[in-house]
Amino acid sequence: MARILITSALPYINGIKHLGNLVGSQLPSDAYARYMRARGHEVMFICATDEHGTPAELAAGKAGVPVAEYCADMWQVQKDLAEGFRLSFDFFGRSSSKRNRELTQHLAGKLADAGLIEEVSEKQVYSRADARYLPDRYIEGTCPNCGSENARGDQCENCTKQLNPTDLINPRSAISGSTELEVRETKHLYLRQSAMRERLDKWIDSQKGWPLLTTSIAKKWLHDGDGLRDRGITRDLDWGVPVKRGSEEWPGMEGKVFYVWFDAPIEYIAATAEWADANGQDDASWQRWWREDKGALDVHYVQFMGKDNVPFHTLSFPATLMGSGEPWKLVDFIKSYNWLTYEGGKFSTSAGRGIFMDQALDILPSDYWRWWLLSNAPESSDSNFTWESFQGGVNKDLADVLGNFVSRVTKFCRSKFGEQVPEGGEYGAAEAKVTAEIAKRLTIYQDNMQAIELRKAAADLRAIWVMGNEYLQTAAPWSIYKQSPEDAAAIVRFALNLIRLYGVLSAPFIPDAAKAILTAVNAEGAGWPDDLDLALSALPPGHAFTTPDVLFAKLSDERREELEAQFAGE
RNA sequence: GGGCCUGUAGCUCAGUUGGUUAGAGCAGAGCGCUCAUAACGCUUUUGUCGUAGGUUCGAGUCCUACCGGGCCUACCA
């Protein structure tokens, strides 16, 4: 039994996430967490909302509520949606928590002690109308290069040229449209990542088997141009972790906060402390996951994220932890995902394009989404959501292959033997053959789950479901019954045990259906089939069951067309 | 501009360190079964593995060039 720490990238607070966000971190991390728990490992699975930064302030302003209130509300919304998708976090925290504030300030202090923080004076654009400093991207104007009038301060979207805000002609605030902008001198703290480049480089090199996507992005940042650059870790904002050096004031930094990207990953740790607090546990209970001097040496730590998050998780956050000089647990494996596209285009929060988590749950139960998203996860490249593919996938895999198998077995049994596992006959060569085939495929399934190749694992799981139908077709208990009810009984008994097995194996992907299956066969506590022969005779003759309702109703063509039209976008 | 990834059956993808007749699911065709959500099972068609060269006894797998698709490029998170 191992101890496995799992974190999912923190969803940003400013609204409900779409399915692309979901499949990029939370969903795969949940499947992995569920699998590892099922295998008997001790798991700590952490997520939280990422609440700081300009977009949160603006979203709150738009909603007409104070930002703290806005975040509290949205945290609840996101937490409820996470539960709706059956994301089994041990704790769902908030980056605005007291724990994170203190830990962020603490780590900044340690980094300063280690000489890894530098004060830099720089010029920032201030908008008087908005009464705030504007991030580059919130300044718009005319592109000096191509003349587009909607260029942003960081880049012109029309000609893709990189810009500085001061390059723009007729700059204006993207928030208010105000042209009352001025350049002000302001001081900020920089994390001296450049000083840790070699250490980070060696650390990355020492990692075995990381996805290509992960290491190639990290290497690019480490070696591009002059190499890893220092990074500003403070901002002139109201909403965030106030800049302090440990518990002390930081002279010159009054009124400033840490940059969200500095405090957000720290929340992985802080949220584990929040978990301890919420459960009345002491500090040692969370430190044993995070401090190598306090028991975390044997922890295996896996992070899940979209590819946009990779630089922060491979470089900035490790630099923060390493640089602190304290023995914090560093990540052991980073699983990164590509994008999910929607009908060939981008999911877009701002344009409202695609399917959002709340809408998805209004349409169909979470298992449908979980199955399609995980079995089509963008693991090796971007993948594309289409309603046609979704309909085909869930109807075929869930309704026909799995759902119908459960249905045909339980209904046949009920009509011939009643709602209990029938007695009589014995397993023979056919059952031994199927058991051997399943054992073989189960090993592959387990290997793929272990390696977090979820798309492949889903295919393995499906193949194991198919074996049930193949078996039934060959064994044909409906024919055998006419000559020998005893022999038919053995077949049905074996098939009912297959159903129980499927309930156990399917739980990481479709937890609700898995539970419904196990409840139907009256085997809620069923554990992982470490011994397959044993597992396939776990339900003894006479064991009562109930014939379940249709596990997965099909998505009709009419309904699919309706949904396609509904989500066609504006 | 620079860097990275990618192009394999109609569709979505798998193809270990280069090694005999290139695989899966879906879709299509045929047959079978009738327990079941008209579900299931079996059989089966289709590929110049983006293009052109090169290395090799041998390349989907390595190299080069070109063509197509995508991503990143550090102040959105």
CA of A473 to C1' of B31 (A): 15
- Section A220-232 average pLDDT: 86
CA distance A461 to A297: 33
In-domain check, residue A343: no
Evaluate whether residue A502 is within a structural domain: yes
Q: Across chain A, what does the average pLDDT equal? A: 92
- Is residue A53's beta carbon less than 7 angstroms from any atom in nucleic acid strand B? yes
CA A562 to C1' B50, in angstroms, rounded, equals: 37
Q: How does pLDDT run across A420-433, given as a tens digit for each residue? A: 999 999 999 999 99
Q: What is the DSSP string of A329-351?
A: PPPSEEEEE-PEEETTEE-BTTT
Closest residue by C-alpha to C1' distance, nucleotide B7: A381
Q: How many CA atoms lie within 13 Å of A64's alpha carbon, on the beta-carbon side?
A: 0
Q: What Å value separates CA A383 and C1' B51? A: 25
The Cα A481–Cα A183 span in angstroms is 87
Name the strand (E) or helix (H) holding A191.
strand A181-191
SS3 A52: coil
- Examine residue A529 and state whether it is found in any structural domain, yes or no: yes
Q: How many domains does chain A have?
A: 1
In a domain, A65, yes or no: no
Evaluate if the CB of A217 falls below 7 Å from strand B: yes
Domain annotation covers residue A280: no
Confirm whether any atom of chain B, the nucleic acid strand, is less than 7 Å from CB of A551.
yes
A283 CA, B51 C1': Å apart: 62
Cβ neighbours of A185 (radius 10 Å): 8
- Looking at residue A283, what is its pLDDT? 97
How many Cα neighbours within 13 Å face the side chain of A413?
Answer: 31
CA of A389 to C1' of B35 (A): 29
Dihedral pair phi/psi, residue A263, rounded to 5°:
-85, -20
| Residue A220 CB in 7 A reach of strand B | yes
Nearest residue for B36, CA–C1'? A408
**Distances from the Cα of A98 to the Cαs of A102, A241, A263, A273, in angstroms?**
6, 9, 12, 10
Query: Tens digits of per-residue pLDDT, A470-485?
Result: 999 999 999 999 999 9
Asked whether residue A500 is domain-assigned, the answer is: yes
Closest CA to A424 of A493, A477, A480: A493
The distance (Å) linking the CA of A268 with the C1' of B48 is 53
Specify if A104 maps to a domain. Answer: no
Q: Which nucleotide is nearest to A194 (CA to C1')?
A: B74
Q: What is the pLDDT of residues A238-249, one digit of tens each?
A: 899 999 999 999
pLDDT at A256: 93
The packing angle between helices A429-450 and A485-506, to 10°, is 0
Q: Determine how many CB atoms are found less than 10 A away from the CB of residue A281.
A: 12
Residue numbers 428-457 of A with CB closer than 7 A to any atom of strand B: 455-456
Q: Is residue A441 part of a domain?
A: yes
Structure confidence by residue, pLDDT tens digits, A404-416: 999 999 999 999 9
pTM of the model: 0.95
> How much of chain A exceeds pLDDT 70, in percent?
99
Q: Give me the CA A489–C1' B37 separation in Å, rounded.
A: 24
Q: Tokens in use for A510? A: 């479709």
Nearest-CA residue relative to C1' of B2:
A224
As a whole number of angstroms, the distance between CA A472 and CA A466 comes to 10
What residues make up the domain containing A442? 387-535
Q: Answer yes or no: are the C-beta atoms of A361 and A84 closer than 8 Å.
A: yes
Residues 391-410 of chain A in contact with strand B via CB under 7 angstroms:
392, 396, 398-404, 406-409
* Type of residue at A158: N
Q: Which amino acid is at A567?
A: F
At residue A307, the pLDDT reads 85
Burial class (CB in 10 A: 0-12, 13-18, 19+), A282: exposed
Instruction: Indicate the SS3 state at residue A40.
Output: coil
Q: Per residue in A434-471, pLDDT tens? A: 999 999 999 999 999 999 999 999 999 999 999 999 99
Averaged pLDDT, A89-109: 97
* pLDDT in the model for residue A499: 98
Q: Extract the tokens encoding A312.
A: 């922060």
Reply yes or no on whether the pLDDT at A570 is more than 60: no
Q: Hey, how many other C-beta atoms are within 10 angstroms of the C-beta on A82?
A: 22
Cβ of residue A55 near strand B, that is under 7 Å? Answer: yes
Each as own residue / partner, the long-range contacts of residues A236-240 (CB below 8 Å, 24 or more positions apart, any chain) are A236/A124, A236/A132, A236/A133, A236/A186, A237/A52, A237/A53, A237/A54, A237/A57, A237/A132, A237/A133, A238/A57, A238/A67, A239/A51, A239/A52, A239/A53, A239/A56, A239/A57, A239/A67, A239/A68, A240/A52, A240/A53
- Residue A312 (CA) to nucleotide B70 (C1'), in angstroms, measures 22
Q: Does at least one atom of strand B sit less than 7 Å from the CB of A552?
A: yes
**CA of A463 vs C1' of B30, distance in Å?**
24
Asked if strand B contacts A137 at the CB level, meaning under 7 A, the answer is yes
Distance CA A235, CA A257 (A): 5
As a whole number of angstroms, the distance between CA A503 and CA A497 comes to 10
Q: pLDDT, tens digit, for every residue of A13-67?
A: 988 999 988 998 999 999 999 999 999 999 999 999 999 988 899 899 889 999 9
DSSP H or E stretch at residue A566: helix A557-566
CA distances, A9 to each of A26, A27, A28, A47, A423 (Å): 7, 11, 11, 7, 51
For the CA of A463 and the C1' of B11, the distance in angstroms is 20
CA neighbor of A347 nearest in space, from A7, A17, A63? A17
pLDDT above 90 coverage of chain A, percent: 71
Nucleotides of B under 7 A from a protein CB: 1-6, 11-15, 24-27, 32-37, 39-42, 69-77
**Residue A440 burial (CB < 10 Å; 0-12/13-18/19+)?**
exposed
Place of tokens 């500090």: A283
The three-state secondary structure class of A384 is strand
Q: What are phi and psi of A356, to 5 degrees?
A: -100, 160
Grade residue A170 by pLDDT with cuts at 50, 70 and 90.
confident
User: CA-based diameter of chain A, in Å?
Assistant: 92
- A225: nt with nearest C1' to CA: B2
Both structure tokens of A466 = 């198919």
Å between A455 CA and B15 C1'? Answer: 15
pLDDT-based confidence at A496, cuts 50/70/90? Answer: very high
Contact assessment for residue A258 and residue A53, using Cβ atoms and an 8 Å cutoff: no
Tell me: the pLDDT tens digits for A272-285?
999 999 999 999 99
Helix, strand or coil, per DSSP, at residue A353: strand
What's the average model confidence in pLDDT over A339-365?
86
DSSP string, A494-545: HHHHHHHHHHHHHTTT-HHHHHHHHHHTT-TT----SSHHHHTT-S-TT-B-
What CATH number does residue A450 fall under? 1.10.730.10
Residue with tokens 């001061």: A166
